[in-house]
Each structure stands twice: as structure tokens, then as C-alpha cells.
Structure 1
Amino acid sequence: MEKMNKLLYEASLEGNVTVLQILLQKDPLCLDKLTLNQLHDMPLHIASMLGHTDFVKEILTRKPKLSMECDSQRRLPLHIASAKGHVDIVKLLLLVNPEACSARDRDGMNPLHLAAVRGHCEVVREVVRARPHVARAMVQQETVLHLCVKHNQFEALKLLIEIVGDHEFVNTKDADENNILHLAVADKQIETVNFLQLNTTIEVNASNINGETPMDILAQGTRDTKDQQIIRCLTRAGAKTESLFEQNPSKIGFDNTKYHNKPHIKKDSKNNDDWLDKKRNTLMVVASLIATMAFQAGTNPPSGVWQEDSTVDPPHKAGTSVMVSNHPNLYHTFLVCNTVGFVSTLSIILLLISGLPFLRHRVFLWVLMVIMWIATTSMSITYSVSIWVLTPKPEAQPFKNVVNGIMLVWIGLMTLLVAGHAFNLMEIFHKSPVAKKKVALSPVIIQHT
């Protein structure tokens, strides 16, 4: 028996398939007996470690259940092949039993963890493809991404994020509530920090158990030439610091305000542009609708047009408005208000599509809004006149009282709006010298940086 075991051991070291076949012909249970009697130096584990693909294939063909046998460290052959990066053997083992991906060794690590910390990207790809959920398994409250950063395996980290990189997975925290950005910044892995900031939804302002953000972690380290690159990367992503930079910004040799003001300026500028774009789009839509209504009302006035000529009272011609003959004063009011609304909205449309640069300023946008208020007021008067003309006289008096009340409310609302926006304009003009002063100082700040 000892001789048989020795021959199996030597065959597994050499990957000698012929010897294995001869031994199995003599005793088909020799592999089972060896596995039963010892927990180390098992042929399948040895061949998986040394990369003897044909030898592993021969064993799996005859004894596929041996793929789930553990050694003294509770490692399966898949653990060993993954740690060594033998992709072909990993594929064979996964084909026999893909559930081996979830098995953990004595340290709590599954085959994916072992492959990732050693940077075997092809093995990582095969294991995740076989069982994607194993990527979320944690060992000692750390994800496989934490392990990649700790062992500086950027390519494996990149691959895992590309395959499984949802928001929750990327932002999972360890026992100290550090996300992977905390660890990358602490180890000053510039490539990893850049990748996380540009290609993931990593939370750059997440706090760990001590309330420290990644920027705070950077402030605690020694001064290094890599610091400035990491600072620029983090500030582009809107990173903040809780307290350490404000207390001692010179600790890592940079002015906190110099780096933290610029992102906010860009962010405020972007928000301002978004607000202006939304307002312009809204004005364009509303102006187009009002212009359409005004044109329709002007070409087809209330009560319609006369269908034929007549010399009797009131005299009229075919195609002229009935309203101008029956209600001349109201018709003039209707025509003036409708024309004001039509011309106002056409002016807004023309200005918006002209693309003039000064229209991107808030003041000119507010001017367009004032014109829109005039247009809407004119159209409301046009509507009131139209309903008044179309309503029979006995029922007109109650309607007149209602219209008067509505008009008073409308005038009050417009007064409040005009007053509010006038106050805003005054406040902006009042603050403009300060803004100009900041703009004048900005070249000095930029030159200093």
C-alpha cells in the first residue's frame, strides 16, 4: 500500500498520466484510499498546484467527486489552482462542480479571493462567470475589492468592477467602515484612485468609523509627491474634509481653500447653466403655445365673421368680424390685447433662437420672463373679452362680477411677482462689485496654484 501511495505521489509530481492509468487498472480505488488515509499531498491537489492539466483531467474523468475533497487547510483543488493561476485546470474543476467556487478554506477565503490577491485576472474572470455571487462574499468583513486594494492588484480590481461593479458592491465597507477609496488613498495608489473616481460611483465623502473621509486619511500620512495628484483627483470628484485640513492644511503642504474652492465654483457654474437651459426651454414651449392661440384667435375672432354683404344696420361685408359690428369697443380691446400677446411671444421665440451670448445671463432671462408675463396677461384679457361677447346679456352681469374679481387677483399676483424679481435684480446689482473683486483676484490665485 505504501508503495502504491509513493507511486501515485511521484506520478502527480511529474504529471505522468500513463503511470496513473496503470495504477488505476491495478487498483481502481487507490485514489479513494489515499484520500481517506491522509489530508495532505493528495494527487489532485498536487497536480492542481503544479499545473498538470492532463493529469487533473484524467482524475476528474474517473473520480469527479475528488474535486470536493479538502486538504488539511480545508482547501479544495480549485483553491490551489486559483491561487497558482492555472486557468485550464480551473476551467476543468468548474466544469465538474461549479459550486466549489463558494467553498472557503481555513482562513475563510474562497477561490476568487485567492486568485484576486495574486492578480490572476483570467482565473477571476472564470470564477465570476461560473458563480457571480461569490464576488460579494466577505472574508473577515472585507470584500474581494478590499483585498485587491490591500494587495495592490489594480488589474484584478478593475476587472471585478467592470463585471460586478454596481453601486452597493463598490461602496461596501469593511469592519472599520472604510470603503476601497479609503484604503487606496491611505496606500497612495494613484492609478486606483483615478479609476474609482472616473469609472465608478464610489462615495468620495464617505466616513469611516472615526468619521474620516478619504481626504482626511490623506492628511494623516507623511508628505509625498503623490499627494498633490490624489488631491486633484479627489477634489474633481467633489471630495470634502471633515476637520483635519481646516485645522492644519500645511500638514501635507497645500492650501485647503485653493483646492476646495475650485470644485464648488465649477459645480455652481454647472447648476447655473442647467437652470438657465431649463428656463429657456420652458419659455420656448410656453411662447409657442401662446403664439399659436393668439394667431388662431386673431384669424377667427369670437362670434365668427359675416358670411355675406349687407347694407342694413349694421352694414357689413362678407369676411369681416361680427364682433367689430356688434361690439366695436370690446373688439378694439380684444384686438389690442391679442396683438400684444402675439407679438410678445414671437419676440421671445426670435430672441431664444437667435443664440446671442448675452441671453445666457440671468438678467436678460428675467427680461424675457417679464415679456412672458405681459403676454399671459394680454391673453387673459383677450379670453375675458371673448367670453363677455359670447355670453347672452341677461347672464352677463354675474359673469362680469366674477371676471372683475379674477382680474383683481391676477393683478395682485403679477404685482407680487414683479416686486419679487425686482428685489432679486437689485440684490444682484448690489453684490456685483464683490463679484467683480473676486474675478479680479482670480488670476492671482491661479498663478499661486
Structure 2
Amino acid sequence: MNSNAIYGFNRMNAAAHAGDVNLLYTVIQDDPYVLERIDLIPFVETPLHIAASMGHLPFATEIMTLKPSFALKLNPQGFSPIHLAMQNDQKQMVYRFVKINKDLVRVRGRDGLTPLHFASQIGEVDLLAHFLLLCPESIEDWTVRCETPLHIAIKNEQFEAFQVLVGWLEKNERSGAEELESRILNEKDEAGNSILHVAALSSEPLVVQELLSLVKTKINLRKKNLENKTALDIASIPEIKSILFSAGSKPSLEVTDAPTRAHWLRSKTTILDKFYTQNLRRTDITGEERNTWLVVATLIATTMFESTLSPPGGFYQISSDDNNLNITSSNSTISTLKNVGKSVLSINDFTSFSVLNMASFFVSFLTILIMIPSRRQGLFLFPGMFFFLMSYIISMSVISPAGVDPKHTQITFFLASLMFGLVITGTGCQLI
């Protein structure tokens, strides 16, 4: 860097120290490329770093408007301007930064700490809540030690910050929020410790108690760290051990390792595995086409189901004249009563009708299974689909005329069992 460049650099820093916007533009008039040359240095203390540290809000806003890239730069110590503003308790500066660019919440500084991590570390709950609402994705960021903001809050005994983080996870209304909550609460750091492990290592039983009351249904009490130990194994004091044991935590010797994806990949590939794999590999169908197929298949399945409730010709019924019939008076009367609620079709006609109806129903049902996107949200559909299938089978059995070949019923239940197997397999595929 030549003497003129150094002179311009020093004048710009002087303007930043003074927070003098007029001097800023005087330097730019004398040297239009001064900010460009500063930006070329990979790790440098820019005028924005200085202004952020000292709380010169108008000057910092002016610099950030002229050179937005300065907000992302790290100084030689590994801190961005927003990190320095937080370190120096310049809250208004922090709010202004994220108002201009909300993605600054995710800027990684030294040790991989983002502003969200730092807010968790120092217990700035107001900033923490603001960051989460402004940039929800920041909850998923890790430090270089694979720590989540929740790990950091507990390790630094910032329990109010931890409550804010968990409260946000529980109140998050975005798509996939439930899966995100479970994943974050059970995330492991570089030592394989979940937040429950970290809490168990502390000497504060109330922290563990509050943690379990906050996330009792979402946290895995039997999760092991890299040393193959559960939270109960590493609990620091007997009182914490008692709390964990009462909550259902077990020592590692009593915990059976859950099947991993490696176990599934090593297992023998079944025909149904191949069927679902081929379906999921399909790339020649768009989302719009998939939705169209789902609508058509659902309409067909619904129509076929309705036809079992009102088959062609209707049902045998008891008329008002039949109320005083003596059911022992004749075989014809008994036969009439046995057919009440049954289809009026002859056995041959009903067999043809039911076979075609069931074929159409089962094909459309199978199409729905295939077209459901492979996501965890699809799991909620499978129980309903199974009960719908069973209702159809029962309805078809109830309206069958007396004397229908038993093989007809056996075939029906065979198809139902096959469909049930596909539902179960589909559920497994969704979980993988």
C-alpha cells in the first residue's frame, strides 16, 4: 500500500473514530477509491468496525449504505462489526444492522459464533428474541464445536436465554417446525453431548428439572454421547441423577442402540423396497401432475366407496306390511328377513359388480399411496387411509347377498391385507 493509500486509510479511520459524516465524504472526494482498497483486504478493521464499537450510529449507517460488504468483513481478531457492537453493548447499533440486513444474524465470527450464539452466551434475551423472529433460520447454525445456541445458553448458565430459545421452538408456526424442534433439542456437540448431557454435567438440579419440564415430550432421555454414555451416566450429583431417573432416563448398559441407517442399508432389499425406491426415483413427473393424479385417484376411490353405500337397484327393505310377520310362519319370510340390508342384485350380478368396483377402488388407492410425497408430513395420511380401506371392506361385506361364494370374501380380504402391507411399508419409507 503506497503512502497516499495509507494516508487515505488513516483519514477514513479518523472520521470513523469521530463519527464525522462530513469528513467521510471529504475523504471520498479526495480519494474515490479509498473504500474499494479497504474492501480488498481479507481481514481488516474497516471504518464500520470502528463506528460499531464506538456507537456512532449515523456514521455506521452511512458507511453500510455506501459499502454493504463491510458488514460481513471480519477484523484480524475474527469479529464482524455486529459482533463488536454486541461486545460493546451498542444495542441500537445492532438493531440498525439487522434492520438493514437481517442475514447479519447469521454472520460467523471467531469460533463460528453468530450474533445469535453470542446473544445466548451473554443472556441478551431481548436481542435473542428479535433475532429469532427476524431470521428464524439462525436457530440451525452451529459453532465450530457443533454447538447450537441451546448448548451455549446452558453451558454459560443463561437459563432465561434457554427458555427464550425453547419457547420459540414450541411456538414456531412455520412448516416443518415440529421436526425442527425435535432435531434441535436432540442435537449433539463435538463430544456427542445433547443439551440434556450438558445440563446433567452442571451442578444445578433446577436447570435439569426445568429443562425436563420444558421439553419432556420432545427430548431423547436415552441418547448417548461419543463416550457411549447417557445423561444419567454423567450426572454430576446424586440429586440430578434422581431427577433424570424419575423422568425415565436409563444408564447406557440398559439402553439398546436404535437401528441406524447403516442397518437398514445392510438389510436385504425386498420387493416392496424396490417398488417404493423406483417410485421415489421418478423425475419425469412434475408437482402439478402429481397433484392432478392425486385428485383423480381420490375422486375414483370416493366414488367407488359411495357405490357400496348405494349399489345398483338398492337394498332389500322391510315394508310396513312386514311389521307383523311371524318369522316362523314360512321359509320365504325367513329368507326375506335375512336379505334385509343386502343388495337386490343376483349373486352373479353382484359378484361382477363387486369385482370391478374393488379393482377400481384398489388401483386408485394404490395410486394415492404412490403419489403421496415422501415426507414426514405424509405419515398423518396413512392411518386415515388404512381406516378408509377397512370401512370399504366392511361395507362391501355387509351388502353382499346371502349365498355369495366364500372365495369372494377371501379374495377381498387378501387384497385388503396387501394394501395394508403397502401402507406399513410406505410408513417405513417415510421414516427413513
TM-score by length of 2: 0.51
Query: Which entry has the higher C-alpha Rg, 1 or 2?
Result: 1
Q: Deviations over 1:51-90 (max 9, x none)?
A: 3222211222333332233322443222323444533322
Residue 183 of structure 1: how far off its partner (Å): 0.7
Q: Deviations over 1:26-50 (max 9, x none)?
A: 5454444445569444221122123
Amino acid across the alignment from 2:182: H
Using a 3 Å threshold, how does the CA distance of structure 1 residues 116 and 40 change in structure 2: closer, same or farther? Answer: same
For residues 119 and 110 of structure 1, the distance between their equivalents in structure 2, rounded to whole angstroms, comes to 14
Q: Hey, what does 2:74 align to over in structure 1?
A: 70
Using a 3 Å threshold, how does the CA distance of structure 1 residues 50 and 155 change in structure 2: closer, same or farther? Answer: farther
Structure 1: gaps (5+ residues)? 245-299, 306-321, 331-383, 393-401, 403-449
Please, which of 237, 242, 248 is the counterpart of residue 238 of structure 1? 248
For residues 73 and 108 of structure 2, the distance between their equivalents in structure 1, rounded to whole angstroms, comes to 12
Using a 3 Å threshold, how does the CA distance of structure 1 residues 6 and 176 change in structure 2: closer, same or farther? Answer: closer
Please, which of 156, 159, 171 is the counterpart of residue 154 of structure 1? 159
Q: Hey, what does 1:179 align to over in structure 2?
A: 194
8 Å Cα contact 1:85-1:123 kept in structure 2: no
Q: Hey, what does 1:170 align to over in structure 2?
A: 185
SS in 2 for 1:323: coil
Within a 5 Å distance, the mapping from 1:112-131 to structure 2 comes to 112-131=116-135
Residue 169 of structure 1: how far off its partner (Å): 0.8
**Structure 1 residue 81 and structure 2 residue 109: aligned?**
no
For residues 228 and 45 of structure 2, the distance between their equivalents in structure 1, rounded to whole angstroms, comes to 48
Within a 5 Å distance, the mapping from 1:29-40 to structure 2 comes to 29-36=33-40, 39-40=43-44
Query: How many corresponding residue pairs?
Result: 261
For residues 239 and 34 of structure 1, the distance between their equivalents in structure 2, rounded to whole angstroms, comes to 55
Please, which of 294, 301, 304 is the counterpart of residue 323 of structure 2? 304
Q: Hey, what does 2:427 align to over in structure 1?
A: none
SS in 2 for 1:206: coil
For residues 189 and 57 of structure 1, the distance between their equivalents in structure 2, rounded to whole angstroms, comes to 43
Residue 157 of structure 1: how far off its partner (Å): 1.9
Residue 181 of structure 1: how far off its partner (Å): 0.8
Please, which of 56, 60, 67 is the counterpart of residue 64 of structure 2? 60
**Structure 1 residue 93 and structure 2 residue 97: aligned?**
yes
For residues 42 and 391 of structure 1, the distance between their equivalents in structure 2, rounded to whole angstroms, comes to 92
Q: Hey, what does 2:214 align to over in structure 1?
A: 199
More helix by share: 1
SS in 1 for 2:326: helix
Q: Percent identity?
A: 27
**Structure 1 residue 217 and structure 2 residue 243: aligned?**
no
Higher relative contact order (CA closer than 8 Å, sequence separation 6+): 2
SS in 2 for 1:175: coil
8 Å Cα contact 2:42-2:73 kept in structure 1: no
Q: Hey, what does 1:323 align to over in structure 2?
A: 326
Using a 3 Å threshold, how does the CA distance of structure 1 residues 170 and 84 change in structure 2: closer, same or farther? Answer: farther
Residue 388 of structure 1: how far off its partner (Å): 7.2
8 Å Cα contact 1:137-1:143 kept in structure 2: yes
For residues 37 and 240 of structure 1, the distance between their equivalents in structure 2, rounded to whole angstroms, comes to 54
Using a 3 Å threshold, how does the CA distance of structure 1 residues 174 and 302 change in structure 2: closer, same or farther? Answer: farther
For residues 15 and 158 of structure 1, the distance between their equivalents in structure 2, rounded to whole angstroms, comes to 38
Q: Deviations over 1:278-311 (max 9, x none)?
A: xxxxxxxxxxxxxxxxxxxxxx999522xxxxxx
Within a 5 Å distance, the mapping from 1:276-315 to structure 2 comes to 303-305=322-324
For residues 175 and 302 of structure 1, the distance between their equivalents in structure 2, rounded to whole angstroms, comes to 83
Amino acid across the alignment from 2:146: Q
For residues 247 and 88 of structure 2, the distance between their equivalents in structure 1, rounded to whole angstroms, comes to 38
